[in-house]
Amino acid sequence: MSGTHQATYLGMPAFPAAADASTRNTQLRANLRHATHTIRAKRATAVAELDDWSPLRAAGAAIKDRTLRHLDHYLEQLESAVTAAGGHVHWAADADEANRIVTELVQATGEREVVKVKSMATQEIGLNGALATAGITAYETDLAELIVQLGDDLPSHILVPAIHRNRGEIRDIFAEKMAEWGRPAPEGLTDAPADLAEAARLHLREKFLNAKVGISGANFMVAETGTLVVVESEGNGRMCLTLPETLISVVGIEKVVPTFQDLEVFLQLLPRSSTAERMNPYTSTWTGTTDADGPRTFHLVLLDNGRTDTLADTVGRQALRCIRCSACLNVCPVYERAGGHAYGSAYPGPIGAILTPQLRGIQSELDASLPYASSLCGACYEVCPVAIDIPEVLVHLRERVVEGGPVSIRGTRTVIKPAKGHAAERAAMRAARWALDHPRVLRTGQRLASRTRRFHPRRLPGPGRAWSDTRELPKVPEESFRDWWQRTRGESGTEGRKTT
Protein backbone atom coordinates (compact mmCIF):
# COMPACT_ATOMS: atom_id res chain seq x y z
CA MET A 1 0.00 0.00 0.00
CA SER A 2 1.29 3.46 -0.83
CA GLY A 3 2.03 5.41 2.35
CA THR A 4 0.75 8.92 1.83
CA HIS A 5 -1.77 8.25 -0.86
CA GLN A 6 -3.47 11.59 -0.51
CA ALA A 7 -2.63 13.50 -3.66
CA THR A 8 -2.59 17.24 -3.20
CA TYR A 9 -3.89 20.36 -4.84
CA LEU A 10 -1.04 22.47 -3.49
CA GLY A 11 1.28 23.95 -6.05
CA MET A 12 -1.14 23.51 -8.93
CA PRO A 13 -0.89 26.03 -11.76
CA ALA A 14 -3.45 28.79 -12.19
CA PHE A 15 -6.70 27.86 -13.88
CA PRO A 16 -5.85 29.04 -17.42
CA ALA A 17 -2.67 26.96 -17.56
CA ALA A 18 -4.28 23.86 -16.06
CA ALA A 19 -7.29 24.22 -18.35
CA ASP A 20 -5.06 24.72 -21.38
CA ALA A 21 -3.58 21.28 -20.70
CA SER A 22 -6.85 19.53 -19.90
CA THR A 23 -8.77 20.89 -22.91
CA ARG A 24 -6.16 19.18 -25.12
CA ASN A 25 -6.97 15.80 -23.54
CA THR A 26 -9.51 14.47 -26.02
CA GLN A 27 -10.37 11.39 -23.93
CA LEU A 28 -11.10 13.58 -20.92
CA ARG A 29 -13.17 15.95 -23.06
CA ALA A 30 -15.19 13.04 -24.44
CA ASN A 31 -15.76 11.49 -20.98
CA LEU A 32 -16.88 14.80 -19.52
CA ARG A 33 -19.04 15.75 -22.44
CA HIS A 34 -20.89 12.46 -22.36
CA ALA A 35 -21.41 12.48 -18.60
CA THR A 36 -22.43 16.10 -18.18
CA HIS A 37 -24.79 16.14 -21.14
CA THR A 38 -26.51 12.98 -19.97
CA ILE A 39 -27.13 14.20 -16.43
CA ARG A 40 -27.98 17.70 -17.66
CA ALA A 41 -30.83 16.40 -19.80
CA LYS A 42 -32.09 14.12 -17.02
CA ARG A 43 -32.05 16.94 -14.49
CA ALA A 44 -34.06 19.19 -16.77
CA THR A 45 -36.70 16.47 -17.12
CA ALA A 46 -36.83 15.76 -13.37
CA VAL A 47 -37.17 19.44 -12.53
CA ALA A 48 -39.82 20.04 -15.18
CA GLU A 49 -42.02 17.41 -13.47
CA LEU A 50 -42.63 19.73 -10.53
CA ASP A 51 -44.85 22.71 -11.19
CA ASP A 52 -43.79 24.29 -7.89
CA TRP A 53 -40.04 24.16 -8.61
CA SER A 54 -39.73 27.92 -8.61
CA PRO A 55 -41.35 28.42 -5.17
CA LEU A 56 -39.39 25.43 -3.83
CA ARG A 57 -36.17 27.03 -5.03
CA ALA A 58 -37.13 30.32 -3.42
CA ALA A 59 -37.98 28.48 -0.20
CA GLY A 60 -34.61 26.72 -0.21
CA ALA A 61 -32.80 30.01 -0.67
CA ALA A 62 -34.90 31.72 2.02
CA ILE A 63 -34.36 28.97 4.63
CA LYS A 64 -30.61 29.02 4.02
CA ASP A 65 -30.44 32.82 4.12
CA ARG A 66 -32.37 33.03 7.35
CA THR A 67 -30.21 30.33 8.91
CA LEU A 68 -27.02 32.09 7.82
CA ARG A 69 -28.23 35.39 9.30
CA HIS A 70 -28.70 33.69 12.66
CA LEU A 71 -26.00 31.05 12.32
CA ASP A 72 -24.64 31.59 15.83
CA HIS A 73 -28.06 30.87 17.32
CA TYR A 74 -28.71 27.72 15.28
CA LEU A 75 -25.23 26.31 15.88
CA GLU A 76 -25.60 26.67 19.62
CA GLN A 77 -29.04 25.07 19.45
CA LEU A 78 -27.53 22.24 17.40
CA GLU A 79 -24.70 21.74 19.88
CA SER A 80 -27.16 21.49 22.76
CA ALA A 81 -29.37 19.03 20.90
CA VAL A 82 -26.48 16.80 19.80
CA THR A 83 -25.03 16.78 23.30
CA ALA A 84 -28.42 16.00 24.84
CA ALA A 85 -28.75 13.04 22.46
CA GLY A 86 -25.45 11.59 23.65
CA GLY A 87 -23.08 13.00 21.05
CA HIS A 88 -19.92 15.08 21.51
CA VAL A 89 -19.44 18.37 19.66
CA HIS A 90 -16.02 19.77 18.69
CA TRP A 91 -15.35 23.14 17.06
CA ALA A 92 -12.61 23.44 14.45
CA ALA A 93 -11.51 26.88 13.26
CA ASP A 94 -9.50 25.59 10.32
CA ALA A 95 -8.36 22.49 8.46
CA ASP A 96 -5.39 21.81 10.74
CA GLU A 97 -7.51 21.94 13.85
CA ALA A 98 -10.18 19.70 12.33
CA ASN A 99 -7.58 17.16 11.20
CA ARG A 100 -5.95 17.17 14.63
CA ILE A 101 -9.28 16.64 16.38
CA VAL A 102 -10.25 13.73 14.13
CA THR A 103 -6.81 12.13 14.33
CA GLU A 104 -6.87 12.24 18.13
CA LEU A 105 -10.38 10.83 18.24
CA VAL A 106 -9.34 7.91 16.07
CA GLN A 107 -6.15 7.38 18.07
CA ALA A 108 -8.24 7.28 21.26
CA THR A 109 -10.06 4.23 19.90
CA GLY A 110 -6.77 2.42 19.31
CA GLU A 111 -7.75 1.71 15.71
CA ARG A 112 -5.49 2.17 12.67
CA GLU A 113 -8.15 1.92 10.00
CA VAL A 114 -11.35 3.83 9.33
CA VAL A 115 -14.08 3.59 6.70
CA LYS A 116 -15.36 6.77 5.14
CA VAL A 117 -18.57 7.94 3.57
CA LYS A 118 -17.88 10.29 0.68
CA SER A 119 -17.51 13.73 2.24
CA MET A 120 -16.68 17.08 0.67
CA ALA A 121 -15.67 18.59 4.02
CA THR A 122 -13.00 15.95 4.69
CA GLN A 123 -11.79 16.33 1.10
CA GLU A 124 -11.57 20.08 1.65
CA ILE A 125 -9.34 19.70 4.71
CA GLY A 126 -7.26 16.84 3.30
CA LEU A 127 -8.21 14.52 6.14
CA ASN A 128 -7.03 11.30 4.50
CA GLY A 129 -3.51 12.69 4.13
CA ALA A 130 -3.47 13.90 7.74
CA LEU A 131 -4.63 10.49 8.97
CA ALA A 132 -2.03 8.74 6.81
CA THR A 133 0.69 10.89 8.39
CA ALA A 134 -0.49 9.60 11.77
CA GLY A 135 -0.36 6.01 10.50
CA ILE A 136 -4.12 5.67 10.08
CA THR A 137 -5.54 4.35 6.83
CA ALA A 138 -8.82 5.82 5.64
CA TYR A 139 -10.81 3.67 3.22
CA GLU A 140 -13.13 5.48 0.88
CA THR A 141 -16.29 3.44 0.35
CA ASP A 142 -18.19 5.48 -2.23
CA LEU A 143 -17.63 3.76 -5.57
CA ALA A 144 -16.30 6.83 -7.31
CA GLU A 145 -14.16 7.83 -4.33
CA LEU A 146 -12.78 4.28 -4.28
CA ILE A 147 -11.79 4.64 -7.93
CA VAL A 148 -10.10 7.95 -7.16
CA GLN A 149 -8.32 6.54 -4.11
CA LEU A 150 -7.09 3.38 -5.82
CA GLY A 151 -5.93 5.45 -8.79
CA ASP A 152 -3.93 7.78 -6.50
CA ASP A 153 -5.95 10.48 -8.15
CA LEU A 154 -7.99 13.51 -7.13
CA PRO A 155 -11.78 13.87 -7.32
CA SER A 156 -12.90 16.03 -10.22
CA HIS A 157 -16.61 16.42 -9.53
CA ILE A 158 -18.69 17.03 -6.40
CA LEU A 159 -21.17 14.25 -7.01
CA VAL A 160 -19.28 11.97 -9.38
CA PRO A 161 -15.64 12.28 -8.25
CA ALA A 162 -14.42 9.89 -10.98
CA ILE A 163 -16.41 11.50 -13.79
CA HIS A 164 -13.16 11.95 -15.71
CA ARG A 165 -12.61 8.18 -15.89
CA ASN A 166 -14.27 5.77 -18.31
CA ARG A 167 -15.05 2.07 -17.79
CA GLY A 168 -11.84 0.84 -19.33
CA GLU A 169 -9.72 3.03 -17.11
CA ILE A 170 -11.68 1.91 -14.04
CA ARG A 171 -11.17 -1.76 -14.91
CA ASP A 172 -7.44 -1.20 -15.15
CA ILE A 173 -7.32 0.65 -11.83
CA PHE A 174 -9.27 -2.11 -10.05
CA ALA A 175 -7.17 -4.88 -11.55
CA GLU A 176 -3.88 -3.22 -10.69
CA LYS A 177 -4.58 -1.59 -7.33
CA MET A 178 -7.28 -3.41 -5.37
CA ALA A 179 -4.88 -6.00 -4.00
CA GLU A 180 -2.71 -3.31 -2.40
CA TRP A 181 -5.71 -2.09 -0.40
CA GLY A 182 -7.46 -5.34 0.53
CA ARG A 183 -9.37 -7.93 -1.42
CA PRO A 184 -8.00 -8.12 -4.97
CA ALA A 185 -10.13 -7.73 -8.06
CA PRO A 186 -11.49 -11.03 -9.46
CA GLU A 187 -9.44 -12.73 -12.18
CA GLY A 188 -10.39 -11.70 -15.69
CA LEU A 189 -12.31 -8.60 -14.60
CA THR A 190 -14.13 -7.02 -17.55
CA ASP A 191 -15.22 -3.42 -17.99
CA ALA A 192 -18.92 -4.30 -17.82
CA PRO A 193 -20.58 -2.02 -15.22
CA ALA A 194 -22.10 -4.99 -13.33
CA ASP A 195 -18.69 -6.69 -13.08
CA LEU A 196 -17.02 -3.52 -11.88
CA ALA A 197 -19.75 -2.95 -9.31
CA GLU A 198 -19.45 -6.54 -8.06
CA ALA A 199 -15.69 -6.24 -7.70
CA ALA A 200 -16.15 -3.05 -5.66
CA ARG A 201 -18.88 -4.66 -3.57
CA LEU A 202 -16.72 -7.61 -2.59
CA HIS A 203 -13.71 -5.41 -1.92
CA LEU A 204 -15.70 -2.98 0.24
CA ARG A 205 -17.71 -5.56 2.17
CA GLU A 206 -14.59 -6.65 3.97
CA LYS A 207 -13.92 -3.09 4.99
CA PHE A 208 -17.44 -2.49 6.31
CA LEU A 209 -17.48 -5.67 8.38
CA ASN A 210 -14.08 -5.05 9.99
CA ALA A 211 -14.27 -1.32 10.63
CA LYS A 212 -14.56 -0.06 14.20
CA VAL A 213 -14.50 3.63 13.24
CA GLY A 214 -16.54 5.40 10.57
CA ILE A 215 -16.02 8.94 9.29
CA SER A 216 -18.70 10.89 7.47
CA GLY A 217 -19.78 14.31 6.46
CA ALA A 218 -23.41 15.40 6.39
CA ASN A 219 -25.68 17.05 3.89
CA PHE A 220 -27.77 18.67 6.60
CA MET A 221 -27.82 19.12 10.36
CA VAL A 222 -31.10 19.88 12.09
CA ALA A 223 -30.70 22.40 14.91
CA GLU A 224 -33.90 21.61 16.78
CA THR A 225 -33.29 17.86 17.07
CA GLY A 226 -29.52 17.48 16.66
CA THR A 227 -30.14 15.16 13.73
CA LEU A 228 -27.59 14.69 10.96
CA VAL A 229 -28.56 13.66 7.45
CA VAL A 230 -26.57 11.90 4.74
CA VAL A 231 -28.01 11.56 1.27
CA GLU A 232 -26.40 8.91 -0.93
CA SER A 233 -27.14 6.43 -3.68
CA GLU A 234 -25.15 3.29 -3.04
CA GLY A 235 -25.86 2.22 0.53
CA ASN A 236 -22.18 2.38 1.42
CA GLY A 237 -22.94 5.41 3.52
CA ARG A 238 -25.53 3.62 5.58
CA MET A 239 -23.03 0.79 6.21
CA CYS A 240 -20.43 3.30 7.44
CA LEU A 241 -22.96 5.14 9.57
CA THR A 242 -24.39 2.06 11.30
CA LEU A 243 -21.76 -0.71 11.54
CA PRO A 244 -18.77 0.92 13.31
CA GLU A 245 -18.63 1.45 17.06
CA THR A 246 -17.46 5.03 16.72
CA LEU A 247 -18.78 7.56 14.23
CA ILE A 248 -17.02 10.87 13.57
CA SER A 249 -18.84 13.40 11.39
CA VAL A 250 -16.99 16.40 9.99
CA VAL A 251 -19.44 19.03 8.81
CA GLY A 252 -19.20 22.63 7.65
CA ILE A 253 -21.05 25.01 9.94
CA GLU A 254 -23.23 26.24 7.06
CA LYS A 255 -24.94 22.85 6.76
CA VAL A 256 -27.32 23.52 9.63
CA VAL A 257 -31.05 24.02 9.03
CA PRO A 258 -33.42 25.15 11.80
CA THR A 259 -36.11 22.47 11.83
CA PHE A 260 -36.79 18.92 10.73
CA GLN A 261 -39.57 20.22 8.51
CA ASP A 262 -37.05 22.25 6.50
CA LEU A 263 -35.76 18.94 5.13
CA GLU A 264 -39.02 18.68 3.22
CA VAL A 265 -37.75 21.43 0.91
CA PHE A 266 -34.17 20.26 0.54
CA LEU A 267 -34.96 16.58 0.05
CA GLN A 268 -36.95 17.63 -3.00
CA LEU A 269 -34.41 20.11 -4.33
CA LEU A 270 -31.28 18.02 -3.86
CA PRO A 271 -31.98 14.69 -5.60
CA ARG A 272 -33.65 16.23 -8.63
CA SER A 273 -30.79 18.70 -9.05
CA SER A 274 -27.97 16.25 -8.48
CA THR A 275 -28.87 12.78 -9.74
CA ALA A 276 -32.12 13.76 -11.48
CA GLU A 277 -34.00 11.37 -9.19
CA ARG A 278 -37.42 12.12 -7.75
CA MET A 279 -36.44 10.69 -4.42
CA ASN A 280 -33.06 9.88 -3.03
CA PRO A 281 -32.22 6.13 -2.74
CA TYR A 282 -30.59 6.18 0.73
CA THR A 283 -31.40 9.00 3.10
CA SER A 284 -29.87 8.22 6.50
CA THR A 285 -30.55 10.27 9.59
CA TRP A 286 -29.00 9.86 13.02
CA THR A 287 -29.40 11.66 16.29
CA GLY A 288 -26.72 11.14 18.90
CA THR A 289 -26.41 7.53 20.09
CA THR A 290 -28.57 4.75 21.47
CA ASP A 291 -27.49 1.64 23.31
CA ALA A 292 -29.38 -0.78 21.13
CA ASP A 293 -28.40 0.28 17.65
CA GLY A 294 -25.64 1.94 15.67
CA PRO A 295 -22.37 3.49 16.88
CA ARG A 296 -21.92 3.74 20.66
CA THR A 297 -19.87 6.90 20.37
CA PHE A 298 -20.67 9.84 18.14
CA HIS A 299 -18.50 12.91 17.55
CA LEU A 300 -19.51 15.94 15.51
CA VAL A 301 -16.67 18.18 14.33
CA LEU A 302 -18.05 21.54 13.25
CA LEU A 303 -15.77 23.05 10.63
CA ASP A 304 -15.32 26.76 10.02
CA ASN A 305 -12.25 26.93 7.72
CA GLY A 306 -13.13 30.27 6.13
CA ARG A 307 -16.90 30.05 6.42
CA THR A 308 -17.25 32.83 8.99
CA ASP A 309 -15.13 35.05 6.74
CA THR A 310 -17.37 34.19 3.80
CA LEU A 311 -20.42 34.96 5.91
CA ALA A 312 -19.03 38.43 6.62
CA ASP A 313 -19.23 39.32 2.92
CA THR A 314 -22.77 40.40 2.11
CA VAL A 315 -22.49 39.56 -1.61
CA GLY A 316 -20.30 36.45 -1.37
CA ARG A 317 -22.12 34.77 1.53
CA GLN A 318 -24.78 33.35 -0.80
CA ALA A 319 -22.18 30.71 -1.74
CA LEU A 320 -22.83 29.23 1.72
CA ARG A 321 -26.35 28.32 0.65
CA CYS A 322 -24.84 25.62 -1.58
CA ILE A 323 -26.24 22.12 -0.99
CA ARG A 324 -23.50 20.47 -3.12
CA CYS A 325 -25.85 19.14 -5.79
CA SER A 326 -23.37 19.82 -8.62
CA ALA A 327 -26.04 20.94 -11.10
CA CYS A 328 -23.86 23.97 -11.86
CA LEU A 329 -20.92 21.74 -12.81
CA ASN A 330 -23.04 19.63 -15.12
CA VAL A 331 -24.34 22.63 -17.02
CA CYS A 332 -21.14 24.69 -17.08
CA PRO A 333 -19.47 24.93 -20.52
CA VAL A 334 -16.16 25.81 -18.89
CA TYR A 335 -16.20 22.83 -16.52
CA GLU A 336 -17.17 20.59 -19.43
CA ARG A 337 -13.99 21.49 -21.32
CA ALA A 338 -11.52 22.09 -18.51
CA GLY A 339 -12.48 19.25 -16.16
CA GLY A 340 -12.56 19.38 -12.39
CA HIS A 341 -8.85 19.12 -11.64
CA ALA A 342 -8.13 22.46 -13.31
CA TYR A 343 -9.91 24.21 -10.42
CA GLY A 344 -7.30 22.93 -7.97
CA SER A 345 -9.77 22.45 -5.14
CA ALA A 346 -12.21 19.96 -3.66
CA TYR A 347 -14.90 22.24 -5.10
CA PRO A 348 -14.62 22.45 -8.87
CA GLY A 349 -16.91 24.12 -11.37
CA PRO A 350 -18.85 27.35 -10.96
CA ILE A 351 -19.56 26.88 -7.24
CA GLY A 352 -15.88 26.10 -6.67
CA ALA A 353 -14.90 29.22 -8.57
CA ILE A 354 -16.74 31.32 -5.96
CA LEU A 355 -16.44 29.12 -2.88
CA THR A 356 -12.75 28.28 -2.98
CA PRO A 357 -11.41 31.86 -3.28
CA GLN A 358 -13.63 32.79 -0.34
CA LEU A 359 -12.68 29.85 1.88
CA ARG A 360 -8.96 29.98 1.02
CA GLY A 361 -8.54 33.66 0.15
CA ILE A 362 -7.01 34.96 -3.08
CA GLN A 363 -3.36 35.06 -2.10
CA SER A 364 -2.23 32.29 -4.44
CA GLU A 365 -2.12 32.68 -8.20
CA LEU A 366 -4.48 29.71 -8.56
CA ASP A 367 -7.09 31.10 -6.17
CA ALA A 368 -6.90 34.55 -7.79
CA SER A 369 -7.51 32.98 -11.20
CA LEU A 370 -10.65 31.08 -10.19
CA PRO A 371 -13.13 33.99 -10.35
CA TYR A 372 -12.13 34.37 -14.01
CA ALA A 373 -12.83 30.70 -14.83
CA SER A 374 -16.22 31.60 -16.30
CA SER A 375 -17.66 33.24 -19.37
CA LEU A 376 -20.48 34.58 -17.14
CA CYS A 377 -23.05 32.79 -19.30
CA GLY A 378 -25.35 32.41 -16.31
CA ALA A 379 -26.34 28.77 -16.88
CA CYS A 380 -25.14 27.95 -13.33
CA TYR A 381 -27.44 30.51 -11.75
CA GLU A 382 -30.34 29.24 -13.82
CA VAL A 383 -30.03 25.64 -12.56
CA CYS A 384 -28.98 26.34 -8.96
CA PRO A 385 -31.69 24.89 -6.67
CA VAL A 386 -30.97 27.51 -4.01
CA ALA A 387 -30.65 30.39 -6.50
CA ILE A 388 -27.04 31.33 -5.86
CA ASP A 389 -26.28 34.16 -8.29
CA ILE A 390 -22.89 32.74 -9.16
CA PRO A 391 -22.12 35.30 -11.92
CA GLU A 392 -22.77 38.13 -9.46
CA VAL A 393 -20.33 36.64 -6.95
CA LEU A 394 -17.74 35.91 -9.66
CA VAL A 395 -17.68 39.57 -10.70
CA HIS A 396 -17.64 40.63 -7.05
CA LEU A 397 -14.57 38.44 -6.43
CA ARG A 398 -12.88 39.67 -9.61
CA GLU A 399 -13.13 43.13 -8.11
CA ARG A 400 -11.43 41.84 -4.99
CA VAL A 401 -8.65 40.37 -7.11
CA VAL A 402 -7.91 43.51 -9.14
CA GLU A 403 -8.78 46.24 -6.67
CA GLY A 404 -8.30 44.62 -3.27
CA GLY A 405 -10.55 45.98 -0.55
CA PRO A 406 -12.10 45.10 2.80
CA VAL A 407 -12.36 41.42 3.69
CA SER A 408 -12.61 39.32 6.81
CA ILE A 409 -9.62 37.07 7.52
CA ARG A 410 -10.10 34.66 10.43
CA GLY A 411 -12.79 36.87 11.82
CA THR A 412 -10.83 40.12 11.63
CA ARG A 413 -11.81 42.89 9.24
CA THR A 414 -8.86 43.94 7.13
CA VAL A 415 -8.09 45.60 3.81
CA ILE A 416 -6.24 43.50 1.26
CA LYS A 417 -4.13 44.70 -1.66
CA PRO A 418 -4.86 43.82 -5.26
CA ALA A 419 -3.46 40.48 -6.42
CA LYS A 420 -0.17 40.61 -8.26
CA GLY A 421 0.06 40.66 -12.03
CA HIS A 422 -2.82 42.96 -12.87
CA ALA A 423 -0.90 46.25 -13.16
CA ALA A 424 -0.78 46.35 -16.98
CA GLU A 425 -4.43 45.37 -17.22
CA ARG A 426 -5.42 48.02 -14.70
CA ALA A 427 -3.53 50.67 -16.67
CA ALA A 428 -5.25 49.54 -19.86
CA MET A 429 -8.68 49.63 -18.21
CA ARG A 430 -8.04 53.15 -16.94
CA ALA A 431 -6.87 54.30 -20.34
CA ALA A 432 -9.90 52.72 -21.98
CA ARG A 433 -12.22 54.33 -19.49
CA TRP A 434 -10.62 57.71 -20.14
CA ALA A 435 -11.05 57.33 -23.90
CA LEU A 436 -14.60 56.04 -23.53
CA ASP A 437 -15.48 58.90 -21.23
CA HIS A 438 -14.21 61.37 -23.85
CA PRO A 439 -16.14 60.53 -27.05
CA ARG A 440 -13.88 62.79 -29.10
CA VAL A 441 -10.88 60.74 -28.11
CA LEU A 442 -12.84 57.61 -28.93
CA ARG A 443 -13.72 59.03 -32.35
CA THR A 444 -10.10 59.96 -33.04
CA GLY A 445 -9.09 56.42 -32.20
CA GLN A 446 -11.77 54.97 -34.45
CA ARG A 447 -10.69 57.18 -37.35
CA LEU A 448 -7.07 56.23 -36.86
CA ALA A 449 -8.06 52.55 -36.89
CA SER A 450 -10.08 53.07 -40.07
CA ARG A 451 -7.30 54.92 -41.85
CA THR A 452 -4.73 52.25 -41.03
CA ARG A 453 -7.07 49.32 -41.73
CA ARG A 454 -5.04 48.04 -44.68
CA PHE A 455 -2.02 47.57 -42.43
CA HIS A 456 -3.72 45.69 -39.59
CA PRO A 457 -1.99 42.36 -38.89
CA ARG A 458 -3.91 39.12 -39.16
CA ARG A 459 -2.25 37.91 -35.98
CA LEU A 460 -2.10 40.08 -32.89
CA PRO A 461 0.92 40.46 -30.63
CA GLY A 462 0.90 40.27 -26.79
CA PRO A 463 -2.25 39.15 -24.97
CA GLY A 464 -4.21 39.57 -28.22
CA ARG A 465 -2.47 36.53 -29.60
CA ALA A 466 -4.80 34.43 -27.49
CA TRP A 467 -7.53 35.72 -29.77
CA SER A 468 -5.91 35.51 -33.16
CA ASP A 469 -4.42 32.05 -32.61
CA THR A 470 -7.83 30.46 -33.12
CA ARG A 471 -10.11 33.16 -34.53
CA GLU A 472 -10.05 35.56 -37.44
CA LEU A 473 -10.08 39.21 -36.43
CA PRO A 474 -12.96 41.34 -37.57
CA LYS A 475 -12.02 43.90 -40.22
CA VAL A 476 -12.17 47.51 -39.12
CA PRO A 477 -14.74 49.28 -41.29
CA GLU A 478 -13.97 52.34 -43.38
CA GLU A 479 -16.20 54.47 -41.24
CA SER A 480 -17.51 54.19 -37.69
CA PHE A 481 -21.23 54.46 -37.03
CA ARG A 482 -20.68 57.83 -35.39
CA ASP A 483 -19.01 59.21 -38.49
CA TRP A 484 -21.66 57.71 -40.74
CA TRP A 485 -24.38 59.35 -38.67
CA GLN A 486 -22.69 62.72 -38.75
CA ARG A 487 -22.00 62.50 -42.47
CA THR A 488 -25.55 61.46 -43.37
CA ARG A 489 -27.63 63.06 -40.65
CA GLY A 490 -26.35 66.56 -40.37
CA GLU A 491 -23.81 68.51 -38.45
CA SER A 492 -25.10 68.45 -34.93
CA GLY A 493 -25.65 64.75 -35.09
CA THR A 494 -27.77 64.85 -32.00
CA GLU A 495 -31.16 64.36 -33.56
CA GLY A 496 -32.44 62.09 -36.23
CA ARG A 497 -34.96 62.78 -38.89
CA LYS A 498 -37.54 60.70 -40.62
CA THR A 499 -36.55 59.47 -44.02
CA THR A 500 -40.10 58.96 -45.22
Told to check if 436 binds another protein by CB under 8 A, we report yes
Q: How far is the CB of 327 from another protein (least distance, A)?
A: 15
Provide the β-strand partners of residue 287: 227
DSSP string, 174-193: HHHHHHHHSSPPPTT--S-H
Nearest to 231 by CA among 194, 268, 204, 176: 268
Told to check if 429 binds another protein by CB under 8 A, we report yes
Told to check if 421 binds another protein by CB under 8 A, we report no
* Residue 86, C-beta contacts closer than 8 angstroms, at least 6 positions apart: 288, 289, 290, 298
What residues numbered 384-403 form the site for another protein, per CB under 8 A?
Answer: 392, 395, 397-403
Contact with another protein (CB under 8 A) among 374, 384, 385, 407: 374
Q: How far is the CB of 433 from another protein (least distance, A)?
A: 4
Binding track, positions 286-325, relative to another protein; x by CB under 8 A: ----------------------------------------
Told to check if 378 binds another protein by CB under 8 A, we report yes
Name the residue type at position 253. I
Q: How far is the CB of 178 from another protein (least distance, A)?
A: 35
Provide the β-strand partners of residue 408: 413
Told to check if 327 binds another protein by CB under 8 A, we report no
Told to check if 276 binds another protein by CB under 8 A, we report no
For residues 211 and 115, the answer to whether their CB atoms sit within 8 Å is: yes
Tell me how far apart the 2 most distant CA atoms of the chain are, in Å.
92
* Residue 364, C-beta contacts closer than 8 angstroms, at least 6 positions apart: none
What residues numbered 26-85 form the site for another protein, per CB under 8 A?
Answer: 29
Told to check if 476 binds another protein by CB under 8 A, we report yes
Told to check if 167 binds another protein by CB under 8 A, we report no
- Is residue 56 helix, strand or coil? helix
Between CA 138 and CA 240 the distance in angstroms is 12
Contact with another protein (CB under 8 A) among 425, 444, 448, 451: 425
Told to check if 490 binds another protein by CB under 8 A, we report no
For residues 338 and 18, the answer to whether their CB atoms sit within 8 Å is: yes
**Phi then psi for 240, rounded to 5 degrees?**
-70, -30
Contacting range for another protein; rule: CB under 8 A; set: 11-19, 109-117, 322-330, 408-416: 11-19
Contact with another protein (CB under 8 A) among 412, 437, 455, 457: 437
For residues 202 and 174, the answer to whether their CB atoms sit within 8 Å is: no
Q: How far is the CB of 265 from another protein (least distance, A)?
A: 24
Q: How far is the CB of 307 from another protein (least distance, A)?
A: 23
Between CA 141 and CA 148 the distance in angstroms is 11
Q: How far is the CB of 235 from another protein (least distance, A)?
A: 35
Nearest to 222 by CA among 269, 261, 279, 196: 261
Told to check if 25 binds another protein by CB under 8 A, we report no
Told to check if 24 binds another protein by CB under 8 A, we report yes
What does each C-alpha distance from 165 to 149, 162, 285, 423, 460 come to in angstroms?
13, 6, 31, 40, 38
Told to check if 448 binds another protein by CB under 8 A, we report no
- Is residue 317 helix, strand or coil? helix
- Is residue 413 helix, strand or coil? strand
Q: How far is the CB of 174 from another protein (least distance, A)?
A: 31
Told to check if 417 binds another protein by CB under 8 A, we report no
Provide the β-strand partners of residue 250: 301
Looking at beta carbons only, is 121 or 368 nearer to another protein?
A: 368
Contact with another protein (CB under 8 A) among 47, 371, 393, 407: 371
Q: How far is the CB of 439 from another protein (least distance, A)?
A: 6
Nearest to 54 by CA among 384, 308, 392, 495: 384
Told to check if 449 binds another protein by CB under 8 A, we report yes
Between CA 164 and CA 329 the distance in angstroms is 13
Contact with another protein (CB under 8 A) among 328, 373, 390, 407: 373
For residues 227 and 287, the answer to whether their CB atoms sit within 8 Å is: yes
Looking at beta carbons only, is 288 or 316 nearer to another protein?
A: 316
Query: How many residues interact with another protein (rule CB under 8 A)?
Result: 70
Between CA 151 and CA 396 the distance in angstroms is 37
Q: How far is the CB of 290 from another protein (least distance, A)?
A: 49
What residues numbered 453-472 form the site for another protein, per CB under 8 A?
Answer: 463-464, 466-467, 469-472
* Residue 500, C-beta contacts closer than 8 angstroms, at least 6 positions apart: none
Q: How far is the CB of 463 from another protein (least distance, A)?
A: 5
Told to check if 20 binds another protein by CB under 8 A, we report yes
* Residue 278, C-beta contacts closer than 8 angstroms, at least 6 positions apart: 46, 49, 271, 272
* Residue 196, C-beta contacts closer than 8 angstroms, at least 6 positions apart: 167, 170, 171, 174, 189
Contact with another protein (CB under 8 A) among 41, 209, 424, 432: 432
Q: How far is the CB of 122 from another protein (least distance, A)?
A: 30
- What's the N-to-C CA distance of the chain in angstroms? 84
Q: For binding to another protein (CB under 8 A), which residues are involved?
A: 15-16, 19-20, 23-24, 29, 333-334, 337-338, 371-379, 381-382, 392, 395, 397-403, 425-426, 429-430, 432-433, 436-437, 439, 442, 446, 449, 463-464, 466-467, 469-474, 476-477, 479-482, 484-485, 489, 493-500
